Amino acid sequence: MTATVVERVGRTSVHASVQDDAALCVTALGAELTAYVAGATTVAEFESWLAAERGPDWQVRRRLAAAAELVNIFESANQSALAPAWLREMDPTGYVPARVLRISSADAISVKALLEAAEIWTLTPAGA
């Protein structure tokens, strides 16, 4: 899963997949949270990156791909509505997943840690 996220942004024809990842994230997370995890200052800035002929830079593409994978984890667990809250929630060690994704270059280690944390969270019964 992690390799897929990191590898798929290395292709030359990624514009369509970037648009798909962005659309999925905006639908599931909202425009503001999606723009935030992508690294944009505003929704307008984020939208301008997507509208540009070249599309966003590789770090933004990786962050969007990782965010889309996170959304898929929550969808697979039938907990789609909880993805935005999880991204904003501080974990026991003091990290906020959305911030971790935003400040990372969505490298394999960061993505793997976030995906594993999301999977564990979705599998943990409430109140456990």
Rounded to a whole number, what is the largest CA-CA distance in the chain? 48
| Phi and psi angles of residue 25, each rounded to the nearest 5 degrees, phi first | -65, -45
User: Each residue of 102-120: pLDDT tens digit?
Assistant: 999 888 899 999 999 999 9
Higher-scoring residue by pLDDT: 53, 27: 27
- Dist CA 119 CA 39 (whole Å): 23
pTM of the model: 0.86
